[in-house]
Amino acid sequence: MKRLLSTLREHQLTASAYLLCVVLFAVATIHTPGFASGSNVRQLLVFASFIGFAALGETIVVISGGLDLSVPWLMAFGGIQLSHWAGSGGLGGFGAIVAVVSVGAAIGLINGIGVAWVGIPPIVMTLAVGGLVQSYLLYLGLGQAAGAVVPHVARAMATATLGPLPVVAIVWIGAATFVGVFLSRTVIGRRLYAVGASDVVAHLSGVNNKRTRVLAYTVSGAASAFAGIVLVGYIGSTYLDIAAPYLFTAIAAVVVGGASILGGSGSYWGTVAGALTLTVLSAMLPLFSLTDADLKIVYGVAILAGVLLSTSGSTMFGWLRRASNRRRTFKFERENVSASHSKVPLPR
């Protein structure tokens, strides 16, 4: 029991994100019982997986103390480039996916080199690289008719089901398990936290900060490109602004999942909860006849409230602990010290 409580305390932010998600889901189900139907849940999982893949790399980058603003453009790149390379006389569906994800990783590598080796602030570096990717996509779009072909593999991945679950959700759960183990159980994973928590301490502990950072951005590039592939597979056609909303949702999922934007804390399972929460929120609003504009407001309020509650929650936790300590100190003082001393303000 004590162990369970301490694990809960350690992961209180992740736990509260799941709790929020469950509460929202319950509210929607009570309002409209069809919300919990198999087909609707499958749909929600597919939508959540888009955010989940987009936020996978973002989580790792944020843990390492950085930020990746190039996510939406890398997603668009993943989708649009896939339809080009998989087209007639191209690489074929599967080969094209591998190629696109590799190029995504290479672009992420450039982000990482700029941040770690040249010392450019992450916001600026990823913004500039995102701009360059955008200009490439604009160039690519010139010589091409609308409605490019999306390869069959990508379509199948995003729409087919295996047993009760969509294929994409299974891939997502697999990826989440892998990333979860990677972050908490491997040396490289722990180094990411160390670098994010303190550059100097990590360096003095023998961590190669630069290489660790570069790895984070590389993973982010690959994951974003893959997210774009899945997204395009689901939508079935490509356009430039296809991933524009994901700049916001990727960061929002990370933040709702309990990671600190300053680095050094957070987990991918938290981000998974964040992605699910955002998806459930967006799916339940039409039930209460709320529009897109309302959704934006609700998203914003959810982020602000979530962050405020999580910080005030830990403040409250610390306060409770201090209060119990104080009681103990007080008892100690009453037993041992004369009455005049107890007027001295108690240590806080």
Partner 1 sequence: MTTLLAAPSAQVAGVTQRHRRIPWSAATSAAILLILAVIDVILQPALLNLTQIGLLLQTALPLILIATAQTLVVLVRGIDLSVGGIFVVGNALTVTWVGAGGGAHQLLILATIGVTILFGAINGILVTSLRMEPFIATLGTWTIFDGIALKILPTDGGTPPPLLQTLILKSFFGLPSSVLLVALLILGWSLLKTSTFGHRIYAVGADEERARLNGTPVRRIKLAVYVLAGLCAGLAGIYAAGATTTGTPTAGDGYILTSVAAVVIGGTSLLGGRGGVGLTLMAALSLTFIADIVTSVNLGVWVSVAASSGLLLLVVSIQSLIARAAERTRG
To the nearest whole angstrom, how small is the minimum distance from the Cβ of residue 317 to partner 1? Answer: 17
- Asked if residue 252 binds partner 1 (CB under 8 A), the reply is yes
- Asked if residue 109 binds partner 1 (CB under 8 A), the reply is no
Report how far Cα 223 is from the mean position of its chain's Cα atoms: 11
Amino acid at the residue 42: R
- Asked if residue 143 binds partner 1 (CB under 8 A), the reply is no
Among 22-30, 94-102, 248-256, 317-325, the segment contacting partner 1 (CB under 8 A): 248-256
- Asked if residue 295 binds partner 1 (CB under 8 A), the reply is yes
Give, as ranges, the residues between 262 and 281 that touch partner 1 (CB under 8 A).
Answer: 262
Ramachandran sector of residue 186 (left: φ over 0; alpha: ψ -120 to 50; beta: rest)? beta
Give whole-number Cα distances, 111 to 79, 120, 222, 336, in Å.
Answer: 20, 9, 12, 62
Alpha carbon distance 344, 195 (integer Å): 42
- Asked if residue 114 binds partner 1 (CB under 8 A), the reply is yes
- Asked if residue 316 binds partner 1 (CB under 8 A), the reply is no
Task: Give 8 or 304: the residue with its C-beta nearer to partner 1.
Answer: 304
Structure tokens at 29: 């189900």
Sort strands 161-162 and 165-166 into parallel, antiparallel or unpaired: antiparallel
* Alpha helix stretches (DSSP H) within the chain: 2-10, 12-31, 38-63, 71-85, 93-113, 122-142, 152-159, 167-185, 187-197, 199-204, 209-235, 246-256, 268-284, 292-336
Q: How many residues sit in the footprint of partner 1 (CB under 8 A)?
A: 46
Q: Binding partner 1 by CB under 8 A: which of 135, 161, 324, 329? A: 135
To the nearest whole angstrom, how small is the minimum distance from the Cβ of residue 319 to partner 1? Answer: 16
Task: Give 58 or 176: the residue with its C-beta nearer to partner 1.
Answer: 58
Asked if 78 and 224 count as a contact pair (C-beta separation under 8 A), the reply is yes
Q: Binding partner 1 by CB under 8 A: which of 31, 296, 328, 341? A: 296
Give whole-number Cα distances, 84 to 77, 140, 144, 185, 241, in Å.
Answer: 10, 9, 9, 39, 17
Among 21-29, 208-216, 301-309, 333-341, the segment contacting partner 1 (CB under 8 A): 301-309
- Asked if residue 257 binds partner 1 (CB under 8 A), the reply is no
Give, as ranges, the residues between 27 and 86 that touch partner 1 (CB under 8 A).
Answer: 67, 69
- Asked if residue 121 binds partner 1 (CB under 8 A), the reply is yes
- Asked if residue 142 binds partner 1 (CB under 8 A), the reply is yes
- Asked if residue 123 binds partner 1 (CB under 8 A), the reply is yes
Alpha carbon distance 13, 309 (integer Å): 10
- Asked if residue 248 binds partner 1 (CB under 8 A), the reply is yes
Angle formed at CA 128 by CA 123 and CA 133, multiple of 5 degrees: 125
Alpha carbon distance 156, 166 (integer Å): 10
Q: Binding partner 1 by CB under 8 A: which of 46, 48, 125, 148? A: 125
- Asked if residue 134 binds partner 1 (CB under 8 A), the reply is yes
- Asked if residue 106 binds partner 1 (CB under 8 A), the reply is no
Give whole-number Cα distances, 281 to 32, 44, 166, 243, 274, in Å.
Answer: 14, 10, 20, 19, 11
Among 16-24, 33-41, 86-94, 132-140, the segment contacting partner 1 (CB under 8 A): 132-140
Amino acid at the residue 131: G
Q: Binding partner 1 by CB under 8 A: which of 15, 27, 120, 173? A: 120
Q: Binding partner 1 by CB under 8 A: which of 138, 162, 201, 337? A: 138
- Asked if residue 308 binds partner 1 (CB under 8 A), the reply is yes
Query: Across the strands, what pairs with 162?
Result: 165
Binding site for partner 1 (CB under 8 A): 67, 69, 114, 118-121, 123-125, 127-132, 134-139, 142, 244, 248, 251-252, 255, 261-262, 291-301, 303-304, 307-308, 311
